[in-house]
Homo-oligomer: A and B are copies of this chain.
Amino acid sequence: MTDETEDYSRHNARMARVQAARAKIQARHTLERGLLIVHTGNGKGKSSSAFGMAIRSLGWGMKVGIVQYVKGSWETGEKTFFQANPDLLTFEVMGEGFTWDTQDRARDIAAARAAWERSKALILDPDYDFVILDELNIVLRMDTLPIAEIVEFLKERPLTKHICITGRSAKPELLEIADLVTEFQEVKHPFKAGFKAQKGVEY
């Protein structure tokens, strides 16, 4: 037996022990219900990760609804893809552009309110298994919608579906009631090296 194959057989035996330990841990985790998921932080990937979960859910035959709260003024790849495949899922762009583009607080509030009413309808509709509220955190951070009202509704939500809320600077009140929170941290960003936002990556 060469040293290398001996090394492998030790590795293989160790992996058998790791597998047994993991199986024991998995067996203790049996709860199942709809999760409230929050993607926040200053890093890239919060929305695209939500769209990736939409793809996972579609693969399982789940019904997905997405409401976009902010990016209304952009042409985006996800919008083109999802709206070209309306049989796949409900994708509604209801927000205005960024608040510095609209420059109209009354219009921002009206658009956010309409988007929230639509979001509630999707969450309460038993047909939907996964509802994504994209960039809702931005609207909450600007106090364009009252956090107390949103939290109160989400606490009483049906537990038969997942909900994912994205956007930087999530309010602590929302993190408090969430089941799964990921913070996306920027380590290196090409914008700072002079790059434009790139198709397929950022929009």
Name A residues whose Cβ lies closer than 8 Å to a Cβ of B: 7-8, 11-13, 15-16, 18-19, 22, 26, 28-33, 35, 37, 39, 41, 43-60, 62, 76-82, 84, 99-106, 129-130, 162, 175, 178-191, 193-201, 203
B185–A12 touching, CB < 8 Å: no
Query: A18 to chain B: which residues have CB within 8 Å?
Result: 100
Most B-side CB within 10 Å, residue of A16, A130, A195, A203: A195
Query: What is the copy number of this chain in the assembly?
Result: 2
B15–A103 touching, CB < 8 Å: yes
Query: A101 to chain B: which residues have CB within 8 Å?
Result: 15, 19
Measured CB to CB, the nearest residue on chain B to A202 is B56
A59–B76 touching, CB < 8 Å: yes
A175–B198 touching, CB < 8 Å: no
Query: A198 to chain B: which residues have CB within 8 Å?
Result: 32, 35, 162
Asked, given contacts A28-B194, A31-B193, whether A185 binds B41 with beta carbons under 8 Å apart, the answer is yes
